[in-house]
């Protein structure tokens, strides 16, 4: 072997060793970054529990910098944005988290809930359907799909969801929801209700219009909370906030 060939071979071997060390260091540093990122997430959660939202956000941002291809930092920032009323920002963060992990029911439930808060029913339905693909028997997902159907006044669709899911679940809420829908559709009960005015299926964000010969009133459900007492679940309201707008007909 000539002297030049020996030098070339030596350089080649050195490069191989350096490449191996670089790869090894990269994997070590990657593992360390993941550990530090997890610590930042835990720290952010602690700040959040203590009510320090700014410090929680900083911790989640640090976790994002350390592991930019991990779903957790984006999901945590999305939840924080949702809880502080920044719904569009929350939707962007939670959607981004699904790029890196898309097999978690809770991510899509949170995404759907945020869409609902942002009055985007169709996108909410799409998110809940993604959650249903992951866990078809999840009660919380089914109830959210029912809620969207009720918001859109799709009573048949809501009833279909409840009937199919109720066959494989002992959750009494299915029976209660079905009873409410049946009562709303029952001609006898509906006739009794109509004697006092036009029946309206109450749901957050829903609205109905009342008219007389000279006046028109729009009533919108701003917020509603079902009672938690001894009576059946979702059978009465603990609070109901209505927004009323009234004007004279031209």
Least confident of 37-46, 124-133, 209-218: 209-218
Structure tokens at 41: 């997430």
Q: How confident is the model at residue 37 (pLDDT cuts 50, 70, 90)?
A: confident
Question: Which of 70, 74, 41 is CA-nearest to residue 56?
Answer: 41
In this prediction, residue 223 carries a pLDDT of 84
| Domain residue ranges of the chain, discontinuous segments joined by + | 202-250
Q: Considering only CA atoms, which of 132, 187, 125, 186 is closest in space to residue 157?
A: 125
pLDDT recorded at residue 26: 41
Would you state the pLDDT for residue 195? 66
Looking at the DSSP assignment, which residues form a beta bridge with residue 239? Answer: 225
Q: What is the pLDDT of residue 99?
A: 93
* Helices 87-100/71-83 angle, 10° precision: 160
Bridge partners of residue 102, in order along the sequence = none
pLDDT at residue 155 in the model: 73
Tens of pLDDT, residues 204-227: 777 777 788 888 888 888 888 877
The DSSP code sequence of 147-173 is: HHHHHTT-HHHHHHHHHHHHTT---HH
Please state the separation of Cα 153 from the chain's center in Å.
Answer: 21
pTM of the model: 0.62
The rounded radius of gyration (Å) of the Cα atoms in the chain is: 28
Least confident of 101-110, 123-132, 178-187: 178-187
Per residue in 139-181, pLDDT tens?
888 888 887 887 777 777 877 777 777 666 777 666 666 666 6
Among 219, 227, 221, 223, CA closest to 246: 219
């Amino acid at each position: 072997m000539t002297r030049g060939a020996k030098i070339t071979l030596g350089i080649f071997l050195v490069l191989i060793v350096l490449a191996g060390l670089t790869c090894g260091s990269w994997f070590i540093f990657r593992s360390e970054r993941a550990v530090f990122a997890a610590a930042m997430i835990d720290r952010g959660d602690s700040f959040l529990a203590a009510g320090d939202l700014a410090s929680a956000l900083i911790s989640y941002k640090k976790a994002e910098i350390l592991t930019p291809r991990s779903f957790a930092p984006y999901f945590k920032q999305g939840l924080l944005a949702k809880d502080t009323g920044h719904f569009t920002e929350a939707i962007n963060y939670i959607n981004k988290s699904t790029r890196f992990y898309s097999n978690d029911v809770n991510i899509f439930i949170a995404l759907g809930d945020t869409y609902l808060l942002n009055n985007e029913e169709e996108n909410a339905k799409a998110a809940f359907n993604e959650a249903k693909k992951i866990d078809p028997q999840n009660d919380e997902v089914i109830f959210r799909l029912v809620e969207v159907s009720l918001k859109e006044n799709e009573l048949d669709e809501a009833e279909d969801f409840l009937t199919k899911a109720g066959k494989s679940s002992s959750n009494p809420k299915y029976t209660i929801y079905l009873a409410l829908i049946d009562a709303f559709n029952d001609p006898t009960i509906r006739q009794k209700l109509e004697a006092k005015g036009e029946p309206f299926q109450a749901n957050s964000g829903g609205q109905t219009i009342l008219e007389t010969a000279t006046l028109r009133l729009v009533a919108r459900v701003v917020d509603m909370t079902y009672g938690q007492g001894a009576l059946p679940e979702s059978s009465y309201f603990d609070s109901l906030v209505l927004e009323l707008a009234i004007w004279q007909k031209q």
